[in-house]
Structure 1
């Protein structure tokens, strides 16, 4: 049966100011089919306990107190469930166990606190409220619930302030072709709460320098191509070149083709240097640092660069990360 309905009926049963006839009528008004069909045979002067006995037999739990208490001891906090919600769920189960004789009323607070400490996964919260030390003199359900809700509200308020602070101090970033320019180095350092923000700034500077160097090499290559295309070709005759010169030029042709391979095709970082996720760069990252994922992506990048260098015979510049 519904726990709220049962609690209201028990409260009505304890009300000594009302007559039994009034209590029976209020109970009947709260019932719907099929529950009301079960008690239709009772007379209007039947006691309220008679109604409850029939309803418990038809719709109440059939587990005894020991089974309910064993089930209670195996009730743990669910994923995403707040500690206060978990405590309320324990209280409902413990009340049912009490009615079935699984526990005594004097041990309710002790069993409630003991199971909460055992089944709650938030050890930091348990340590902050010193719940382990309160087992000898446990608080009531209302007192413990108030402690949990107060702690949850403080955490929520602090998380909101922290998020608002970091969003306000987020650095402005301007992205360009083959490079990144970060405005305000001091703002960038202040937006990084990690202790190693100095090393992160150095990594970012190195990344910018490498990108600018690659851009300069590509620009110089395009300039050489434009000059060579504009230079007029000399007339070719059969006797212009000697066999030695022809042989030398033939030997240099493979090297020239290899030199024309653009280093822009060499694998570059595709991931964030802070969290390791794809699709954004470190100054735009709002996620928590993930050194293990960054190290894994760095290892994959080095393997791809080594494979590219081995295939094209290119020099091996320092990796960006």
Structure 2
């Protein structure tokens, strides 16, 4: 769904080709859902196809449930901070699809990284002390975290 939604926005091809590409990628119950849509509605668009797929197979949480999941998502013991950020990103993406202001995503992510990381995680500690009022964009945040993880890994080999 995510790939198809993004592709629809970026494809510079006629609507007919978009619909064909979607149909070619479907199997089983998803294909049946499209057949039912085509029978019930004339002149369907590619967006109609995606809407039906979302309604039939998509996640059903509302924004308040997703916000709850985000606020109660914590780094697991032994989990790398980059893996934790990846889990947060998946929840934030779902919130974004449900209508959160895109300008708030990075702020929410860094707040939950700082709040949800293990207390003694050295990278999270560094982020907490450097944070201030600065909001890191996701690519910058994950780059910093991954670089620090590599550095910590290299240091641990010499101990």
Q: TM-score, normalised by structure 2?
A: 0.89
Q: What do the CA deviations read for 1:73-132 (whole angstroms, capped 9, x no partner)?
A: 10111222110011011011101011113x31111100000001111104422233x345
- The match for 1:156 is 153
Q: What do the CA deviations read for 1:20-63 (whole angstroms, capped 9, x no partner)?
A: 11111111122221111111134495211111111111111111
Counterpart of 2:36 in 1: which secondary structure? coil
* 1:39 maps onto 2:71 in alignment: no
Pick from 67, 83, 105 the counterpart of residue 65 of structure 2.
67
Quote the Cα distance in structure 2 between the aligned partners of 1:124 and 1:16: 43
- The match for 1:8 is 3
User: Which is helix-richer, 1 or 2?
Assistant: 2
Counterpart of 2:10 in 1: which secondary structure? coil
| 8 Å Cα contact 1:117-1:131 kept in structure 2 | yes
The offset of 1:18, in angstroms, is 1.1
Quote the Cα distance in structure 2 between the aligned partners of 1:86 and 1:105: 21
* 1:138 maps onto 2:135 in alignment: yes
- The match for 2:124 is 126
Query: Aligned in 2, Cα 1:135/1:27: closer, same or farther, shift over 3 Å?
Result: farther
Counterpart of 1:81 in 2: which secondary structure? coil
What are the residue-to-residue correspondences of 1:44-55 with 2, within 5 Å? 45-55=43-53
- The match for 2:95 is 97
- Gaps of at least 5 residues in structure 1 are 1-5, 163-321
Higher relative contact order (CA 8 A, sep 6+): 2
The offset of 1:160, in angstroms, is 1.6
What are the residue-to-residue correspondences of 1:295-306 with 2, within 5 Å? none
What are the residue-to-residue correspondences of 1:17-32 with 2, within 5 Å? 17-32=12-27
Q: Report the RMSD for the aligned CA atoms in angstroms.
A: 1.8
Counterpart of 1:17 in 2: which secondary structure? coil
Quote the Cα distance in structure 1 between the aligned partners of 2:60 and 2:46: 21
- The match for 1:85 is 83
